[in-house]
Amino acid sequence: MNCETCRDLIDPYVAGTLAARDALALEAHVAGCAECTIDLAAAGALRDPVRGLPRRIDPPNDLWPVVRRRLVRRRMPGWGALAAAAVLLIALSSVVTALLLDRRDTAAVPLASGMAAVRMVEAGYVEQARELEAALEEGRDRLAPETIATVERNLEVIAEAIAESRAALEEDPANRDLRILLRTGHEQRVALLEQAVRLSREL
């Protein structure tokens, strides 16, 4: 038996499910192999502690109210979402304004790490959006002028909502609601661009 085969058999050996003949072969290999001895010992030592890990860990905060709000916003199948996006984002902006007047949950996160995390998340969305905008540009000629106009109008509304959320976060980086609104704005932007690109390719 070589080390690769031995490693493949370590888990069933530790679990006690390996056939007796294979178990003997494994033991013979391990007796003369320092590396596999270490791997066998590690697998054996961790088996019970891992099995004892809790399957459930409840989130420190109740996430359902936020998830519920996002469900209402996102359940918009098909191209009709484009027409609805402006209305949604106007509502989003209103919520941002309301949150600015009622800043909550601001104690936990240090300012620098808070904005650093926000920028890291934003960078990913910005790159996604840039790639989609390039793809949309390629298919732009296949879309009707009024469709292009609708997309661009909604992207402007989304950009305003994102800018508003970001500005509010600069003031209050630990505000969880504002973080969620900023992410939602970016998600809306990416979703809108994805739909537009998809449509341009279907035509």
The residue ranges that bind another protein (CB under 8 A) are 7-8, 38-39, 41-43, 45-46, 49-50, 53-61, 63-64, 66-68, 70-72, 74-75, 108-109, 117, 120-121, 123-125, 127-128, 179-180, 183
CA–CA dist 117, 140 (Å, integer): 34
Q: How far is the CB of 148 from another protein (least distance, A)?
A: 26
Given the complex with another protein, which of 23 and 66 has the nearer CB atom?
66
| C-alpha–C-alpha distance, residues 110 and 93, integer Å | 26
Task: Give residue for tokens 């270490």.
Answer: 38
**Smallest distance, Å, CB 145 to another protein?**
30
Give the total residue count for the chain: 203
Nearer to another protein, 44 or 140 (CB): 44
DSSP state, 55?
S
Q: How far is 159 from 32, CA to CA, in rounded Å?
A: 65
The residue among 148 and 176 lying less far from another protein, judged by its C-beta, is 176
What's the min distance (Å) between Cβ of 186 and another protein? 10
Q: Which residue has the tokens 């104690």?
A: 107
| 128 or 147: CB nearest another protein | 128
Within a 10 A sphere around the Cβ of 134, how many other Cβ atoms? 10
Q: What is the DSSP letter of 19?
A: -
From the CB of 101, what's the least distance to another protein, in Å? Answer: 24
